[in-house]
Amino acid sequence: MAEKIRILIVDDLPETRDNVRKLLQFEPDVEVVGQAGNGQEAIDLARKEQPDIILMDINMPIVDGISASQSITQSVPRCQIIIMSVQSEADYLRQAMLAGARDFLMKPFSGDELMAAIRRVYETRPTIVHTSATTSTNTTTASESPIDQSQKDGKVLTVYSPKGGSGCTTVAINVAVALAIRGYKTLLIDANLQFGDIAVTLNMRPSSTLVDLADRISELDADLISSVALEHESGLQVLLAPPKPEMAELVTADSLDSIVNIVRQNFDFVIIDTATSLQDTTVTVLDNADRVLLITQQSLASLTNARRFFDLFDALTSDIQRIMLVVNRASDKFSISVKDVSDALRRPVVASVVQDDVAVTNSADRGIPLLGNNARKTPVAASILKLADVIEIDLLGETKQDAEGGEAVQQKTGWLSWLGR
């Protein structure tokens, strides 16, 4: 028989604990391994019993359910917490989710509801959980494991967010430009196939697009790709999205897969912008990526979607180490801090791209990347450069700056001098 799901029940009322225990007693795949009457007992029992799931009340004496969840999330990360609350505690649910709780049940709940929540949380639990979350200033690498170098030369970074409008295109364009300016052979692919907006944001005429490659997939080679890619004045090469939404279906997941596999042999970095919906083309470029730049913001909705994505990604690929968590529009004015994001998702935030409505909007509207106009001295441009540093260090082990002893890299456009480094 398969292993049982080990449960800890935490509630200050003995009769509530008993009711929950009774709801579970005839379930063949669960086992109640303990009961606690307050948050402190829960913390102690969680450490001792290492349950899979903790059913946690909110209002309890000594240590409440939110503080206990926070402590357990940090110290016993294998435990997944389901909050049991009453309607009047709805305000606390937000805090509970931020404290790391995975799901919640409104009391009174039926045995079916309880088991559905337990199975859902158990089945989507992360297989690898990080215990040490770091803040935005930390440049921890996303993975300790070396990249598989067997057949790839270039590093593929897919920029994705499970919430639309989070800043994927902004980050993808500006990071790609930063890498190109540093002298890396860099290709930006607009894989937001229906509504890709890289052409307009970089002020490039879509004279050729991915459709021109998808048409000739059997002839695909480096020469064909370079004849379709357009060159931006920063030195960046760009493969644009189809010019009309109805042409998106001409670029299939298979053709995108072939394109990425060929271009990675010819570029140092391939940066791929994506749409939010998880269509098969998006899944392909997530699969193909050495790193997924997961763009979040400091909002509960953004966090909730990011957590769902982490769970899904982990379940599908078991390779959550490939995700680099990035907070965009970062600001200390929001009630959810960058550290809260990191704590709630149990992942380091590798970089924060600061909020600057004027610089970012003007840059997009004028079709000039942040590093290419007078926004290059702004904090948002500096945070993009920092993110590029993190990417270089994580994927190559050093930055160009380090490799060349601080000497500027020779580059054919005048953009490099604008970096001021």
Ligand X SMILES: Nc1ncnc2c1ncn2[C@@H]1O[C@H](COP(=O)(O)OP(=O)(O)OP(=O)(O)O)[C@@H](O)[C@H]1O
- Contact positions toward ligand X, by CB under 6 A? 161, 164-170, 192, 276, 328-329, 353, 355-357, 360-361, 364, 380
- Name the residue among 351, 304, 366 with its Cα closest to residue 167: 351
Binding mask 168-197 for Mg ion (x = CB under 5 A): xx----------------------------
- Minimum CB distance to ligand X, residue 299 (Å): 13
Q: Considering the complex, state which of residue 360 and residue 387 has its C-beta at the smaller distance from ligand X.
A: 360
Beta bridge partners, 187, equal: 237, 270
* 167: partner contacted, choices Mg ion, ligand X, none (Cβ within 5-8 A by kind): ligand X
| Residue 61: cis peptide before it, omega within 30 degrees of 0 | no
Name the token pair of 411.
């580059």
Which strand (E) or helix (H) includes residue 58?
none
Q: Which is nearer to Mg ion, 197 or 287 (CB)?
A: 197
Question: Under 8 Å CB-to-CB from 303, ≥6 apart: which residues?
Answer: 97, 98, 296, 336, 341, 344, 345
Q: Which two tokens stand for residue 402?
A: 């380090």
Considering the complex, what minimum distance in angstroms separates the CB of residue 337 from ligand X?
Answer: 16
Q: Decide whether 243 or 414 has the Cβ nearer to ligand X.
A: 243
Checking phi first, is residue 183 left (phi over 0); if not, alpha (psi -120 to 50) or beta?
left
Shortest approach of ligand X to residue 168 CB, angstroms? Answer: 4
Identify what 328 binds: Mg ion, ligand X, none; CB under 5 to 8 Å per kind.
Answer: ligand X
Please state, as a whole number, how many other Cβ atoms lie within 10 Å of the Cβ of residue 149. Answer: 7
**Which SS3 state, helix, strand or coil, does residue 185 take?**
coil
Does residue 237 interact with Mg ion by CB under 5 A?
no
Reading across the β-sheet that carries 323-330, which strands appear in turn?
Answer: 230-231, 237-239, 186-191, 269-274, 155-160, 291-296, 323-330, 349-354
Residue 11 CA to residue 223 CA, distance in Å, equals 66
Nearer to ligand X (CB atom), residue 54 or residue 353: 353
Tokens at 225, concatenated: 């790709």
- The nearer residue to ligand X, 15 or 357, going by C-beta atoms, is 357
Q: How far is the CB of 201 from ligand X (least distance, A)?
A: 8
Residue 146 CB coordination number (10 Å):
7
Shortest CB 166 distance to ligand X, Å: 4
Residue closer to ligand X (CB basis): 101 or 375: 375
Of residues 296-315, those binding Mg ion (CB under 5 A): none
Position of minimal CB gap to Mg ion: 169
Q: Does 201 bind Mg ion (CB under 5 A)?
A: no
| Least distance between ligand X and beta carbon 380 (Å) | 5
Which residue's CB is nearer to Mg ion, number 268 or number 273?
273
Least distance to ligand X, CB of residue 139, Å? 19
Binding letters toward Mg ion, positions 150-169, x by CB under 5 A: ------------------xx
CA distances from residue 396 to 14, 145, 286, 392 in whole angstroms, order as listed = 56, 12, 20, 5
Q: Which residues bind Mg ion (CB under 5 A)?
A: 168-169
